[in-house]
Amino acid sequence: MIFLLNTSEFGNELKKLGFDFYSGVPCSFLKSLINYAINECNYIAAANEGDAVAIASGAYVGGKKSVVLMQNSGLTNAVSPLTSLTYPFQIPVLGFVSLRGEPGLTDEPQHELMGQITTQLLDLMQIKWEYLSSDVNEAKLQLETANEWIEKERPFFFVVKKDTFDKVNLKREERFVHHNKKKIDKTSSDEVPSRMEALDVINRCKDEKTVQLATTGKTGREMYELEDCSNNLYMVGSMGCVSSLGLGVALAREDLNVVVIDGDGSLLMRMGSLATNGFYHPANMLHILLDNQTHDSTGGQRTVSHNVNFVDIAAACGYEKSIYIHSLEELEKEIQEWKKTKALTFLHLKIAKGSKQNLGRPKVTPREVKTRLQRFINEKG
């Protein structure tokens, strides 16, 4: 006879410890815990597991204790943020990863290798983990241990074998509404300012409730050089994750003005995040794309953004407003407009390639950046 873990009792225990924000991508082994999270907590359905880690990280920075759920095949999708976001910034997420392809059990061929290396991969990433017990009392003790790691700002993962959770059905039906109300396409020639000029406009528009998240590479470095302040986060790694991080912060703290500054290479890398952002459509998030049509930070190699109509895509993904920006003046006008009227907004600005000579790098460590941003956010609470 198989004894299954009482999912609701376990989920309530998680909730008692403060874990009530979830993000993930489904796996049948985790179905019941996901259903519990959808029924009883806040569950954000990510487009991929890496985005889920970034969303959960944002929620953590915004003051939530957060959980990520994924199949082990998706752990590979999450390697970039688990090694270059949660590790350097010391963002503790609690993870549940299924063990498809468990050695000794019959499973599909695509899970065979991952089943053998899941725990080794966690070890390699220096993530503390345990197999989740299906005995509820043992599992509760395990949760206490996990919570101690989280409190020490270290991630902790449970590896979940087949037939661990008992059945939970979905209670709530999601409502599907398309939110795009305004789309403005390119209508005239572009001013094509430098990235620094664009960042300067963005930075001058900030107020006491603004959090600024800058994408990987020179965007963050220029932002730092422009003005290093506690409401900024320079996303040194985890390329493509900046708007997912922003989504997490924006959902966790609806009173903040969350400004996400993206690059075309970064956005293309994880474009599925636009769909997630549009679906959850936090009104307090502004997503600005500075598009130089290159991977400028790594030597100016062309990206494939030339044919891409980002304004159309963001609108189609459900951003309430999606606007092509031709000049710095328009940029400032639309930022002010967003602050006044609040609605998930996407702004696409073409910028010039290149940056200033001898551009520095943040001297403040990622962990310090995170800690002071958390303090900034807490003080606004």
Ligand X SMILES: Cc1ncc(C[n+]2csc(CCOP(=O)(O)OP(=O)(O)O)c2C)c(N)n1
The residues binding ligand X (CB under 6 A) are 80, 215-219, 237, 239, 263-266, 292, 294-298, 303
Tell me, rounded to whole angstroms, the distance of Cα 258 from its chain centroid.
13
Estimate the share of the chain in helix, then strand, then coil, as percent rounded to the nearest 5.
Answer: 45, 20, 35
Return the amino acid letter for 121: L
User: 24 or 217, CB closer to ligand X?
Assistant: 217
Residue nearest to ligand X as judged by C-beta position:
263
User: 119 or 266, CB closer to ligand X?
Assistant: 266
User: 91 or 267, CB closer to ligand X?
Assistant: 267
Helices (H) and strands (E) in the chain, counts: 16, 15
Return the amino acid letter for 345: T
User: 11 or 265, CB closer to ligand X?
Assistant: 265
∠ Cα 265 266 271 (to 5°): 100
In whole angstroms, the minimum distance from the beta carbon of 348 to ligand X comes to 13
User: 18 or 300, CB closer to ligand X?
Assistant: 300
In whole angstroms, the minimum distance from the beta carbon of 285 to ligand X comes to 18
Task: Please tell me the distance from the alpha carbon of residue 351 to that of residue 298, in angstroms, as a whole number.
Answer: 16
In the block, tokens 């999708």 appear at 77
> Tokens standing for 207?
């107020």
264, burial (CB in 10 Å: exposed 0-12, middle 13-18, buried 19+): buried
In whole angstroms, the minimum distance from the beta carbon of 214 to ligand X comes to 10
In terms of phi and psi (left: phi > 0; alpha: psi -120 to 50; beta: otherwise), the region of 217 is left
- 3-state SS string over 119-160? HHHHHHCCCEEEECCCCHHHHHHHHHHHHHHHHCCCCEEEEE
In whole angstroms, the minimum distance from the beta carbon of 207 to ligand X comes to 25
Residue 208 has what DSSP assignment? T
- Is 65 in a helix, a strand, or coil? strand
User: 17 or 308, CB closer to ligand X?
Assistant: 308
User: 162 or 361, CB closer to ligand X?
Assistant: 361
In whole angstroms, the minimum distance from the beta carbon of 13 to ligand X comes to 36
Task: Please tell me the distance from the alpha carbon of residue 334 to that of residue 344, in angstroms, as a whole number.
Answer: 12
User: 210 or 297, CB closer to ligand X?
Assistant: 297
In whole angstroms, the minimum distance from the beta carbon of 294 to ligand X comes to 5
In whole angstroms, the minimum distance from the beta carbon of 352 to ligand X comes to 11
Residue pair 42/251 in contact (Cβ under 8 Å)? The answer is yes
Return the amino acid letter for 43: Y
Q: For the chain, report the end-to-end CA distance as a whole number of angstroms.
A: 50
In whole angstroms, the minimum distance from the beta carbon of 109 to ligand X comes to 28
93, burial (CB in 10 Å: exposed 0-12, middle 13-18, buried 19+): buried
User: 164 or 215, CB closer to ligand X?
Assistant: 215
In the block, tokens 């991080």 appear at 245
In whole angstroms, the minimum distance from the beta carbon of 299 to ligand X comes to 9
